[in-house]
Amino acid sequence: MIYTIEAENYRIELGSLQESSFEYFMNVNYPNSRKIILVDENTNEHCLEYLLTSYSFLSNAEVIVLPQGEENKVMDICMQVWETWSEYGFERQDVLINLGGGVITDMGGFIASLYKRGIDFVNIPTSLLAMVDASIGGKTGVDLGSYKNQIGLFVNPKAVFIDPGFIHSLPEGEVFNGFAEMLKHGLALNEGHWNELVTMIDVVKEINEEHIYNSLLLKNTIVLEDPFESDLRKKLNFGHTIGHALEGYFFENDPISHGYAVALGILAESYISFKRNYLTLSEFSQIEKVLLMHYFPIDLSNESLNEIYQLMKNDKKNKNGEIKCVLLISIGQSVINKTISELEIIDSLEYLNRLFLEAKKD
């Protein structure tokens, strides 16, 4: 079965790629275009062959392999790709297929949108994170040093084909990266989604198409209402104000994954929500219990706290120098544009560290 979701001006299909309209879509829209496939080292090894052997219309596709990992989501790599495309003589009517996780769909969309003022691109996400979040909604871009997604554009793909079978092309731990974003959708937007996720004990085994569909639907509904994040879409940044700063802080020495950083950000921002009496103790305890079941807390030294705070001061979500955050008022309901103070931030980071010290004792 194929689930179909209508997005802003494109369609998302969820289900086996073979059963989807991928081939039909490409043949109808790009019969004479050259096809470029963007992969990273991992999807080159584990996913590309499946695509190439399944579709004869891709037999002449040019494959561009990018080095793997968030540290390569930078302008230098984009420059290299643009130079290669220029040498190969790709033209404006050619089309890019992004086959990969969030780094590939974010970066591929960005590269395509600027090349010759924009060529079309189609996303085939291979990680859970890209399936439920990065591949839809039109956010594309690259990082700038420790600052995530500082350079980028809102540009929609022409179509997104989500085949959950690809999840197993990645190490099991990778599933938790995407699961954090799904928990975020539940907490910030819909209690029912949260409730269906928290019953899972073995996420890798239990996650299914329906969970992915429900998460996608929540994100897509918000994006349809506020595509350029002037208001409602900010709710999707829950867990990311502190999460991005943690990711940026660890980036230089001992990088942590985006999903793990978001999970920690969810804990810290739920803690602030609780401290403000927005969340009851029982709601906060449930969130803490669920998050700690899947994510081990992190060691934050006293010296790191101020550095993390300084990173937050440069967050692109800030306004008039104030640090803005999404907070929870109950499970499934959030409020945007809440100014959080230095004291609250440091307190929440100390809370994360207490969790680490307690977990280490056990």
Binding site for ligand GLY (CB under 6 A): 133, 137, 139, 233, 236
How far apart (Å, rounded) are the C-alpha atoms in residues 180 and 177? 6
Question: Which parts of the chain are beta strand (E)?
Answer: 3-6, 11-14, 35-40, 62-66, 95-100, 120-125, 139-144, 147-154, 159-162, 324-330, 333-339
> Least distance (Å) from ligand GLY to the CB of residue 181?
7
Catalytic annotation present for 276: no
From 32, 60, 87, 117, active-site residue: 117
- Of the residues 148, 158, 235, 258, only one is catalytic, namely 258
Closest to ligand GLY by CB, 13 or 133: 133
CB of 133 to ligand GLY, least distance (A): 5
Residue 259 near residue 244, CB atoms below 8 Å: no
* Euclidean distance between CA atoms 327 and 340, whole angstroms: 10
Minimal CB distance residue for ligand GLY: 236
Annotation marks residue 60 as catalytic: no
Smallest distance, Å, CB 246 to ligand GLY? 16
Q: How far apart are CA 189 and CA 184, in angstroms?
A: 8
Answer yes or no: 316 catalytic.
no
Choosing from 158, 244, 324, 338, which is the catalytic residue? 244
The smaller minimum CB distance to ligand GLY, of residues 133 and 163, is found at 133
List the catalytic residue out of 237, 247, 269, 283.
237
Least CB distance to ligand GLY at residue 291 (A): 18
247 has catalytic annotation = no
Which lies closer to ligand GLY via its Cβ, residue 35 or residue 258? 258
> From the CB of 137, what's the least distance to ligand GLY, in Å?
4
Residue with Cβ nearer ligand GLY (26 or 129) = 129
Q: In what order do the strands lie in the sheet with 120-125?
A: 3-6, 11-14, 159-162, 120-125, 95-100, 35-40, 62-66
Which residue has 């399936």 as its token pair? 131
In this structure, which amino acid lies at residue 181?
E
* Nearer residue to ligand GLY within complex by CB, 44 or 135: 135
User: 117 an active-site residue?
Assistant: yes
Q: Which is nearer to ligand GLY, 139 or 338 (CB)?
A: 139
Residue 233 annotated as catalytic: yes
What whole-number distance in Å separates Cα of residue 326 and Cα of residue 278?
A: 12
Catalytic residue, chosen from 240, 294, 324, 338, is 240
Contacts of 67 (CB under 8 A, 6+ apart): 40, 41, 77
Neighbour tally for 50: CB within 10 Å: 17
Q: What sign does the CA torsion over 234, 238, 242, 248 have? A: negative
Q: How far is the CB of 130 from ligand GLY (least distance, A)?
A: 11
Which is catalytic among the residues 174, 229, 247, 269? 229
**Which of the 8 DSSP states describes residue 74?**
S
**Which residues are part of the catalytic machinery?**
117, 139, 181, 219, 229, 233, 237, 240, 244, 258
